[in-house]
Chains A and B, each alone.
Chain A
Amino acid sequence: MHDQETPEALVEWLAAMLLIREFEEQAERASLRGKVPGGVHPAIGQEAVAVGAMRALGPDDIVTGGHRPHHHALARGVDPARLMAELFGRETGLGHGIAGSMHLSDFSRGYYGSNGIVGASLGLAMGAALGASMRGTGQVAVGFVGDGAANTGRTWEFVNMAVIWNLPLIAICENNLYAVETFIDNVMGGKSMVRRAEGFGIPAFEVDGQDIHEVNRAVATARERALAGDGPTFLEMRTYRYHGHETGDKGVYRTADEVDRWRTERDPIARLASSLQASGDLSEQGLTELQEQAVARVADALAFADESPWPSASTAPHPTDREGSAR
């Protein structure tokens, strides 16, 4: 299922990253305009992790993620209009306005949901991998967590369980260096989360999360291992979020210079675009067209969200009675 890195595939990866970036830029702006109740956690800068990983998966594979999830959802093929409508809290949203940015899902795409609790997504992916293993479905489950999860104990309970039960799990830590404002190097006893993972006896690798090729190959290799019955893999994707933890974060815990360096020297979109241009697989006009397509799709998504009705108040209580919720 691993996409061959053909020029056509790479152009599609670039388009997917451009869509995510435009979506996140516009979602954050909409949030600042008061359109998004509760704000957003934008993943601008982390696009290659999501797209590179998803393009290594099969359609039935399972993906879970954390509180910064829009890039995962979009890379998995979720409709940006329904995603934006969910951020706006509208009836037409992915979760009908019940779920919100941190609780997205699309089970038709194996997207088992984003999660508001740090580390929890990996546990659900581990459990889904157990289900896959017991039912013999041939699915692999990918659990995305952030660097904050490297310091919650349950993360390592989940990894250990996947090891001892030999589950088809890929644990991906998107290390964007800051858990809100906590710098990872200040709180990482032993200095390396990869070494922590290696302590469980599994392959664990640090990956340049700003290099979509490297991300894709690492996940494809991990997936092959899992499918061969060789168990879980831990991948630390070194990445960076250009914007704050959430809407309105002023970023006083890091320097503008640091942000600039990541943006100008390692940007995953610029890197892929320039390599495609250098190889002659993408013209300047072709790039402009991709950018315009992303802008147009997100503009449509914003319009769809804005014009969508609010959920009817009559759906609000959602009594979880003996039949479960009304959904």
Chain B
Amino acid sequence: MSDEVTYSAAFREAVRDEMAKDDTVFVIGTDLYHRGGHFAQVLGLGEEFGRDRIRDAPISEAAMVAAGVGAAMNGMRPIVDLNFIDFAFGAMDEIVNQAAKIRFMLGRPVPLVIRASSGIALGGAQHNNSPESWFANVPGLRVAVPATPYDVKGLMKTALRGEDPTIFLMHKKLSALRGPVGGLDDLVPFGSAVIRRPGDDCTLVCSGGTVAKTLEAAESLAASGVSAEVIDLRTLYPLDTEAITTSVRRTGRAVVVDEAPGFSSIAAEIAATIQEQCFEYLDGPVLRATSTHSSIPYSPPLIDAILPTVTGIVERVRQTSEAFSA
């Protein structure tokens, strides 16, 4: 464990370590060299590694991702940094039809990482989408959603040493979060959730930007005698189904927390999985605490009105706890 660094700096450390170790690792993106990306995620690496490997690109998302895919097919390990995941939509063919399918169709690995910031912060409807589930729905893609600096660094190293394309989504509001990080070879495996808080009465499943408020909800529940277990998924695909079901079989209740709209979401997938695999263990309905089915508004009070809240999570736990107690 090193000193505490920010969530953004943890990404930078992972990239620097791997670039120093492996000449084929490089970064393509906009505003990287001087600014270090819009979240300072590669700040300083331009001077250290030069313009070839911290490779500034025009605002051509399709071409950036295509460059990454083609280079990955020809011996490189590119990171394509799209800054905001909302900007990926201009490259969906390159992500979904090319990156994700090439190994399946042609047998050629595509060791590509697409990094972007995701989740709800300020800026309005077109910079705050939470499309994690869209990518998780595409066979061939892996989706990482770290919630801590340690996981940013460890998951990014795993992604960069892997053979398949990874969508690496970092929540905007965590950028300045500080925490310890691992060393050169401390990898966090994909498909390995972590229990952030143990508990016996209800399982709370969350990831990325919802981990902090879910822990806060668990704290609040503890004050009223309800012991909630908080599971941070860390990756959405592969999904650590076993961690979820093991916990739910013990607690008998589950609430899934997700910042994306609930309809057709990861929360829906997890709820379905729990009822398929834990039905006879359940003491109450599997509930979800998600954003409402809304685009993201601009004004802070309006944003707060659509997000899952600590009190909303607590309320869901009460609902599932009381469902059959009457």
Contacts and interface: CB of A to CB of B under 8 A. Distances in A.
Interface string A55-80: 00000001000000000000000000
B208 interface: no
Contact of B63 (A131, A132, A154, A325): A154
A38 to B, nearest CB: 14
Contacts of B318: none
A120 B98 contact: yes
B94 A322 contact: no
Interface string B135-149: 000011010000000
B73 A135 contact: no
Nearest to B76: A131
Interface stretch (A95-103, A233-241, A243-251, A274-282): A95-103
B73 A124 contact: yes
Given A127-B70, A320-B140, A158 B63 contact: yes
A105 interface: yes
A292 B128 CA distance: 64
Interface string A132-148: 10110101010000000
Contacts of A135: 24, 74-76
Contacts of A115: 98
B225 interface: no
A231 to B, nearest CB: 15
Nearest to B80: A127
A313 to B, nearest CB: 17
B164 A161 contact: no
Contact of A126 (B70, B76, B109): B70
Contacts of A99: 105-106
B194 to A, nearest CB: 17
Contacts of A125: 70
Nearest to B67: A127
Given A117-B93, A123-B63, A134 B107 contact: no
Contact of A134 (B52, B64, B108, B163): B52
A50 interface: no
Residue with the highest number of chain B CB atoms closer than 10 Å, among A98, A112, A129, A130: A130
Residue with the highest number of chain A CB atoms closer than 10 Å, among B62, B69, B104, B106: B106
Contact of A62 (B74, B98, B107): B74
B73 A128 contact: yes
B69 to A, nearest CB: 5
Residue with the highest number of chain A CB atoms closer than 10 Å, among B62, B103, B190, B238: B62
Interface residues of A, number: 45
Nearest to B96: A117
A320 B67 contact: no
A124 B70 contact: yes
B69 A154 contact: no
Contacts of B71: 127-128, 130-131, 134
A113 B97 CA distance: 13
Interface in B194-236: none
B140 A325 contact: yes
Interface in B127-176: 139-140, 142, 163-164
Contacts of A120: 66, 93-94, 97-98
Which size bracket describes the interface of B in this complex? Answer: 35 or more
Contact of A123 (B70, B104, B108): B70
Contacts of A137: 74-75
B58 A161 contact: yes
A116 to B, nearest CB: 8
B24 A98 contact: no
A123 B80 CA distance: 14
Contacts of A165: 55
Contact of B142 (A113, A160, A322): A322
A154 B105 contact: no
Given A117-B93, A126-B63, A320-B140, A95 B72 contact: no
Interface in A295-327: 318-325, 327
B190 A322 contact: yes
Contacts of A98: 104-105
B58 A325 contact: no
A113 B65 CA distance: 17
A164 interface: yes
Nearest to B165: A324
Contacts of B105: 95, 98-99, 103, 105, 113
Contacts of A325: 103-104, 107, 140
Interface in A248-302: none
Contacts of B108: 105, 107, 112-113
Given A123-B65, A324-B164, 20 more contacts: A105-B107, A107-B106, A113-B105, A123-B70, A124-B66, A124-B98, A127-B70, A127-B74, A128-B74, A131-B71, A134-B26, A134-B52, A139-B74, A154-B93, A158-B62, A161-B60, A161-B64, A319-B139, A323-B164, A327-B104
* Closest 10 A/B residue pairs (Cβ): A127-B70, A123-B66, A131-B74, A157-B63, A131-B71, A105-B106, A157-B60, A103-B105, A128-B70, A154-B62
21 contacts: A98-B105, A99-B106, A103-B105, A103-B106, A115-B98, A120-B66, A124-B70, A127-B67, A127-B69, A131-B76, A134-B26, A137-B74, A139-B74, A161-B57, A320-B140, A320-B164, A321-B238, A322-B142, A322-B164, A325-B104, A325-B107
Interface of A: 62, 95, 98-99, 103, 105, 107, 112-113, 115-117, 120, 123-132, 134-135, 137, 139, 141, 153-154, 157-158, 160-161, 164-165, 318-325, 327
